[in-house]
Chain A
Amino acid sequence: MAVTAGSKVLNNVEAVRETLYEAMKSDDRTIILGEDVGARGNVFLITKDFINEFGPERVIDTPIAEASIVGIAVGMAMEGLRPIAEIQFADFIYPAFNQIVGEAAKTRYRSNGEYTCPLVIRTPYGGGVRGALSHSVSIEALFYHVPGLKIVAPAFPADVKGLLNAAIDDPDPVLFLEHKKTYRLIKGEVPEGHYTIPIGKANVIKEGRQLTVVSYGLYVHWALEAANQLENEGMSVEVIDLRSIRPMDRTTILNSVEKTRKLLIIHEDNKFGGIGAEISAMVAEEALFSLDAPIRRLAAPDVPAMGYAEPLEHEYMSSPAQMADAMRELVKF
C-alpha cells in the first residue's frame, strides 16, 4: 500500500490506541477507566503500557462492575474531567444501562444546560469471531432510541481516529462502538496528528446509480465487496457507510435514494426494531415517491444470540454472497 505523506497504515486496534494515546498526552483531564485497561493493557492490548506512562490515577483498573464504571465516569465528566470508560465487551454493558440512559444521556436536559456530560464509552461489539453468546452481541439498537446519546460505529481506521477524537471533544456522552472482527482485519491510511470527523455524517464510499446500500461496521466491508462484484456484472451500486448511528445522516441517505430509487439496509444486529427499521421509516416518510422497489433489510434473524457453533454463526450473519444476491434482486426488480 502506497502511503500518503503525513499518514501511516494502521489497523483499527492501532487507530484506537494511537488516538487514546494522543488524547492522554494532550489533555491531563483525560482518564481511561475499565476492566483490565491498566496492568493488562486491555484484552486487545489497546492500552498496553499506558499505566506505566500515565500512572494508575489516569489509567484505572476497575472491579467487574459496569454500573460503577459508567456511574463514576458520569461523575467525573460532570465535574470537569474527560473520562473514556471502557466496557470490555458490549455484551457486558447491560448493568450500566441506567447510568448511560438514565444519567449520562439526560444530564444536560435535567440540569437545564448547567451540566454537560463529556463522556466517551468505548466498547467492542459484533460477531464473526466465534465469540458465542457473551462476545458477539450488537447493542446499537438498544441505545439508539435514547435522545441525548450519540452513537458512533466506524468501519475504517481513519474514521476510527477522526470519530474517536470527535467523541472525546464532544461535550455530551458518546457511545463508541468498535467492531472487534475489524480490529486487526481492517487496515488503512490514518493521517497523523489530531483531526476530527464530524459525528452524524455518513460517507458514500462507493458511488452507484441503481441501488443504495446502507450499512455500518464490519458489514460495510462485506457490502463493498459485494457491490464491487456486482460492478463486474455491470450493475451500479452505491454504498454508504453510516459511520454515525445517532445522529443519523438523513441527508446523505435521502439524496442517494432519490438518485438510485432503491434501498437495501444491511446490518449485523437483529432485523426487528433495528437501525434498518428507522432508516426504512425515514425514507418512507421523506422519499416515498422516489422509491421504485420495496425497501429491503438484510439483518440478523430473531434469535436471542449468535451461536458458538460455526454453522450457527454463519446462519446468524449475512455473507458477502448473500449481500450480493440481495443487491442483484433489487437492481433487477
Chain B
Amino acid sequence: MATTITMPQLGETVTEGTVAQWLKKVGDTVEKYEPFLEVSTDKVNAEVPAPVTGVIKEVLVKEGDTVPIGTAIAVIEEVGAATGTAPAAQAPSTPESMAASANEEPVPGFNIPQLPTKPAAASSGNGHARTGNGVIPSSYGAPGGLDTAGAEDALRKASPAVRKLARENNLDIRAIRGTGTNGRVTADDVLTAAAMGPAAAVGQAIATGTNFGATPPPAFAPAAPPSAPPASGTSTYGEPIPGTVIPLTQARRIIAERMVESKHTAPHAWSMVSIDVTNVWKWRAREKDRFERETGYKLTLLPFFIRAVVESISAFPLMNAKFTAEGIYVNKDVNIGVAIGLPTNLVVPVIKNADKLSIKGLAIAGGELIDKARRNKLGVDDLAGGTFTVNNNGANGSWASAPIINGGQAGIVTMETVEKKLLVRDDDSFAPCYVMNSCLSLDHRVVDGYVASGFLADLKKRLEKMGPDGAL
C-alpha cells in the first residue's frame, strides 16, 4: 500500500516549508521513524521521520523547492502491504476508533489513506485492528517530535517550569525543539528559544561582520521571487554560475535578514586601535606546541584576545548591554560570540560565561565550537545567548574591517592580521614588533564614542600587558 507524505507543519504559525535535502532517494528503503528528509522553514530546520517502513516510490518535490504545508511531497510503498499483513497495531483499536482517528485527527506530514473497504478488525484474528497507514501512534517520544501529535504531546508533558517560562517569554511550547529524554522540551530549551528571539526559535542563527567595503543589499526583500528564473537549478553558493540565480538557503536568508535588520535599526559607529601584541605573540609561540599536545586544540591568538575583551567588558559593562524599548539592558552574563566563516555561510557560536574562563579554558571552549562548526554539529545551545561578538577577521590578511553588529548586542570587535613592524618607542628606540589592528563597531543607541573609545583603549592596554609568560 502506498502512503503519500505531505509537507508537515513545523510550528503552528508556519505555512510553507522548503525541502532542504532528501536523505533518501527513490528506491531506497526507510524504516518507520527513520529521518528521510530535511525540511526548513523560517522557524525551524527539522528532519522528518518516515511514518511507515517501506520503499521510496516517488519524490514529488525537488530539493530547494518551497511548497505549502499539506502538499504531497513523496510516496512510500509500504513493506508487506502486498501480502495484506501489515505490522501489528501499536495499540488495540476498534474499527470505530480507527475510523475516528483517521477522520478527525489527520496528522500533517502523514497523509491519511483511504479507509479499507472492509473493517480492519475483520481481517485480524486476535481482535487487534491495524492502524490506518500514516496515522502514527501518539506515543511519547516519537523521533523528530515536530509532527502535530508530537507537538501536542510536548504540550501535555510540559513541566511546570517549562509552562511558566514559555508563558513568560510568550512562546508556544509546541514550536520548540526538545532536547530532553524522548525529545521532551526542557526548561533550558525554552530559555534557548527565548534567547534566539522570535525570528529563529530553532536552527542556525547567523550574524557577523563583513569585510570592509562589502555591504549587504540595501533593501533585501525576503519574500520577493527572483526577477529572472534560473536557467538551470544547478547554480549553488559553492559553485556559482554567472547569469543564474542561486536559490536562497535558509541560512543565507537568515543571514540576509539579520544583516539588514541590524544595519537598519542599530546606528553603527566605528573605531580602530593598533595594538602591540609582541608579548602575547611570544607567549603563544612558546606554549602552542605543548598546548596542542595536551588538549588536542590549536592555540591561536583568539583566546588571549577574548580574555582581554571580557576583562575590558568588566571595566565597561555598557559594552555588554543591548538596546530595548524599555531601556538599555545590561547583561548579567558575558557570553562571547565567535564568528566562524564556513564555505557557504557564517555561524556565531557562543562561549558562555567567557569571563569565568582562563585563557586555557577559552582556548578549549573556542576549539570545541570551531570543531563543531566545521563538522556542522552546532546545536541550538551553542548558538544562543551571545552578548558581545569577536570576529577573527585577520586570518586572510585583512588590515581593517567594519563589522555589522550581531543584533541585540552593543558591539562587535575584530582581530585583524598580525604584522611585523618597526615601532618607535617612547624613548626613541626602535624595535621590531608584532602589531595587530582591532576594529570596533558599536550600536550608538547604547554607547557613545566616549565609552567605546575607553573600551578600545582598555583592550589595547590589557593586550599589551599580557605575557610574555605566565599561566595560561
Contacts and interface: CB of A to CB of B under 8 A. Distances in A.
Interface of A: 261, 288-293, 329, 332-333
Contacts of B163: 289
A280 B164 CA distance: 20
Contacts of A261: 161, 187
Interface in B133-167: 159-164
A292 B161 contact: yes
B109 to A, nearest CB: 27
A255 to B, nearest CB: 15
A293 B180 CA distance: 10
Nearest to B180: A333
B3 interface: no
Contacts of B162: 292
10 contacts: A288-B160, A289-B160, A289-B164, A290-B160, A291-B159, A292-B161, A329-B181, A332-B181, A333-B180, A333-B186
Given A261-B187, A333-B186, A292 B181 contact: no
Interface in B15-52: none
A329 B187 CA distance: 16
Contacts of A333: 180-181, 184, 186
Contact of B161 (A291, A329, A332): A291
Nearest to B187: A292
B139 to A, nearest CB: 18
A291 B186 CA distance: 10
A187 B181 CA distance: 39
A99 B181 CA distance: 50
Given A261-B187, A292-B186, A292-B187, A332 B180 contact: yes
Nearest 7 A/B pairs, CB to CB: A292-B161, A292-B187, A289-B164, A292-B159, A289-B160, A288-B160, A261-B161
Contacts of B164: 289-290
Classify the interface of chain B: helix, strand, loop or mixed. helix
A332 B161 CA distance: 15
Contacts of A289: 160-161, 163-164
Contacts of A329: 181
A308 B164 CA distance: 49
A333 B186 CA distance: 8
Nearest to A294: B159
The size bracket of the interface on B is: 10 to 19
A329 B180 CA distance: 10
Most buried by A among B159, B162, B164, B180: B159
A279 to B, nearest CB: 17
Q: Considering residues A288, A289, A290, A329, which has the most beta carbons from chain B within 10 angstroms of its beta carbon?
A: A289
A332 B163 CA distance: 18
Contacts of B180: 332-333
B153 to A, nearest CB: 15
Chain B CB count within 10 A is highest, among A290, A291, A292, for A292
B249 to A, nearest CB: 32
Contacts of A288: 160
Interface in B149-197: 159-164, 180-181, 184, 186-187
A274 B181 CA distance: 28
A190 B468 CA distance: 42
Nearest to A288: B160
Given A261-B161, A292-B186, A333-B180, 17 more contacts: A261-B187, A288-B160, A289-B160, A289-B161, A289-B164, A290-B164, A291-B160, A292-B159, A292-B160, A292-B162, A292-B187, A293-B159, A329-B181, A332-B180, A332-B181, A333-B181, A333-B184
B288 to A, nearest CB: 26
A163 B186 CA distance: 39
A288 B160 CA distance: 6
B163 to A, nearest CB: 8
A13 to B, nearest CB: 40
A178 to B, nearest CB: 38
Nearest to B168: A289
A290 to B, nearest CB: 6
A292 B164 CA distance: 10
Contacts of A293: 159
B463 to A, nearest CB: 31
Contacts of B181: 329, 332-333
Nearest to B164: A289
B341 to A, nearest CB: 28
Contacts of B160: 288-292
Contacts of A291: 159-161
Contacts of A290: 160-161, 164
A328 to B, nearest CB: 10
A245 B222 CA distance: 62
A290 B164 CA distance: 8
Nearest to B184: A333
A201 B450 CA distance: 48
Nearest to A260: B187
A261 B164 CA distance: 12
A291 B158 CA distance: 10
B224 to A, nearest CB: 42
Nearest to B162: A292
A332 B187 CA distance: 12
B159 to A, nearest CB: 5
Contacts of B159: 291-293
Nearest to A210: B188
Nearest to B190: A292
Contacts of A332: 180-181
A293 B186 CA distance: 9
A293 B160 CA distance: 8
B294 to A, nearest CB: 17
A31 B309 CA distance: 64
Contacts of B187: 261, 292
Nearest to B158: A292
A293 B159 CA distance: 6
Interface in B413-447: none
A293 B163 CA distance: 12
Nearest to B167: A289
Interface string B223-255: 000000000000000000000000000000000
A288 B159 CA distance: 9
A293 B182 CA distance: 13
A266 B311 CA distance: 41
Contacts of B184: 333
